[in-house]
Chain A
Amino acid sequence: MSTVRSTPAPASTGPVRQGAELALDGVRLGHGQGQALPGTVDLRVAPGELVAVVGPSGCGKSTLLRTLAGLLPPLDGRVTEDGTPVTGPAADRALVFQEDALLPWRSVRANVELPLAIRRMGRAERRRTAAGWLERVGLAAHARKLPHQLSGGQRQRVQLARALAGRPRAVLMDEPFGALDPHTRAGMQDLLVDILRGTGATVVFVTHDVDEALHLGDRVALLASGEVLGVPHPRQRDARNAPATTALRRRVLTSL
C-alpha cells in the first residue's frame, strides 16, 4: 500500500528495515481490570502502511493501540506481528503518546538516547544517532534542555525522535498531535510524513480528527463500525477538496 516513502533516510538514522505486518483477528478489547469493550476488532495492517484509526471518544482507540503494543492482553482473539502472537511490549512496536511521555528528569538528548541505551548501543554511537534524529525534527539546538523548557509541539517532536531512534518496525501513535493548536498540528503532520520516509515502518495512527486521518492515512479504519476505507490521495495537501476526498470525508463523518 505504501508508495510515498521511497527517499533513503540519512546515514545516521540507519538503513531501511521492513515494516511489520500487524493483525488483529476477532479481538475483544479490554482495558484496565478486564472490562470488555463492545464488539470485536478485525484489522490487518500491511508492512509500511499507515492506517489512521478514527472513532468517537471512549470507543477504545487507545486500548486498541495498547493492545497492539502488548501492554494490554486481548480478552479474546489474536494479535499478531508478522504472524507471531504478540505476548508483551517490545522495541519492535514503539508507542507515541498524546500525553507527555518524555522523562522529565532527562535532557532532550538523554530521552532520545534512552531506546538506544536499552539496545546496548555504545555511548559515542548513541550520541551520534540521537543528534541525527534531533536534527531531523529540527531540535538540534535544544538537545541539552529539559522537556519542561520546550513547548508542547517541541515535546511531541522529541517524542517522535525518541520513538524512531529505536528503529521500530511499527509505530503506534495515540493522538500524538491532539493537544496542539491547528497551525502546529499541520506542521507536525508534515514533519511526521517527512520523518517516516525511508524508515519503512508500519504506522497505526489514532486520531479523532477526520481531516488528519484523511490526510495521513493510506487507509482509514472506523473503529465503531469496523469499516476500513482506502484513502484516495494520501499525504497530499492539495487533494483536501478533491471530489474523492470530500466523498470519503462525508462517509466517515456520517459513520461517527
Chain B
Amino acid sequence: MSAVRRLVRVASLAAALGLWQVLTAHDVELWLRFGQFPTVGEVASAFGDRLGTGPYWQDLGHSLRRIVIGFLLAAVLGVAAGTAIARSRWAADLLGPLVEVARPVPAIALVPVAILLLPTNEQGIVFITFTAAFFPVLVSTRHAVRALTPVWEEAVLTMGGGRLRVLFSVVLPGALPGVFGGLSVGIGVGWICVISAEMISGEYGVGYRTWQDYTVVDYPGVFVGMATIGALGRLTSTAVEAAGRRATSWLPRPAERPPARAARRADRAARTVRAGRRTAAPAHAPAPEKQPVP
C-alpha cells in the first residue's frame, strides 16, 4: 500500500476520534445528546486502568473459552450434518425438516431453552454460541457439497474408490472453500451471541462486565468493554480467515494469475524485445505496478 493511502486511513481514524472528543468534551446537545457520553480521554484512561487488573483478563479468558468451545463444536457438527444432508437421502429426510424449523429461530431467543435444559449457566452460554455458529456452517457446507463437480467423484469411483474414499478424497477437501465461508460467518454470529448471552445470564465474561458497567453508570467502562469485544472479534475472525487461506491454498489466486490482458501485453513486449524491434516495445511495455507518489 502506498504511503498516501496509509496516511488517509490513519487520518480517517484520527478524525473520527477527534470528532468524538470535540462533541463529548463540549457536551454537545443537538438532536443527538453527548452530555453523558464519556470522552476519548476518559475511555483511554479507563482502558489503561483495566488492563492492569486481574478481572479484566479473567473476563477475557471466560469469553474466549466460551466462543472457542461453542465454535469448534459448531464447526465439527455443522460440517458433519451439512455433508450428511447433502450426500444422503436418509439424512436429508430425517434432519432436513428439523433444520429448516430450527434455523430461523435466533440463537439468543433460545436463552430460556438453555436455562431449562442445561445444568449450568456456563453450558447454557456455550450452547447459545454453538447454535448461532452451527447453522451458517451447516448451510454453507450443504451448498458446497452439492455444488461439487460430479466428475471428481466419478473419477474416484472408476479408480475403485468406495464411499469413504469419495468422502475423504473428494467431498471434504472439495467443499472446504465453501465450508470456510460458513465458518467465517459462524465466528461472527458466535461473538454476537456469546456477548448477548453473557449480558443476560453470565457471571463472568466481557459481555457480562460491559452490561455490569452500564448498570452501575460506569460509561467509560462500557466503552472499554466494547473496544475489547471488537478486538477479540477481529482476532478470532482473522484466525479463521488465515486458517481458511492455509487450508485452501490450492485455489488459483489472482496474484498467481495476472489478468489475461496484462500477461499477453507483457508476453508480447518480451517477444518484441527479443526480436530486436525496439520501436514497438515502448507501446507494449507493461505499466509499472505502483504509480509514483506525486
Contact = CB atoms under 8 A, between A and B. Distances in A.
B170 A103 contact: yes
B7 interface: no
Contacts of B159: 91, 94, 114-115, 118, 166
A76 interface: no
Given A89-B158, A93-B158, A118-B165, A101 B151 contact: yes
Contacts of A106: 250
Contacts of A149: 256
Interface in B21-77: none
B252 A114 contact: no
Given A95-B154, A95-B155, A146-B250, A105 B174 contact: yes
B282 interface: no
A148 interface: yes
A103 B252 contact: no
Contacts of A85: none
Interface string A87-129: 0011111110101110111100000001100110000000000
B157 A89 contact: yes
A71 interface: yes
A69 interface: yes
A104 B253 CA distance: 13
Contacts of B160: 89-92, 115, 118-119, 166
Interface residues of A, number: 29
B152 interface: yes
B18 interface: no
Contacts of B152: 101, 103
B169 interface: yes
B252 to A, nearest CB: 5
A97 B155 CA distance: 8
Interface in A60-98: 66, 69-71, 89-95, 97
Contacts of A146: 250
Contacts of B158: 69-71, 89-91, 93-95, 172
Interface in B145-203: 149, 151-152, 154-161, 165, 169-170, 173-174, 176
21 contacts: A69-B154, A69-B158, A70-B158, A89-B160, A93-B158, A94-B159, A95-B155, A95-B158, A99-B151, A101-B152, A101-B155, A103-B169, A105-B176, A105-B248, A114-B169, A118-B156, A118-B161, A118-B165, A148-B252, A166-B159, A172-B158
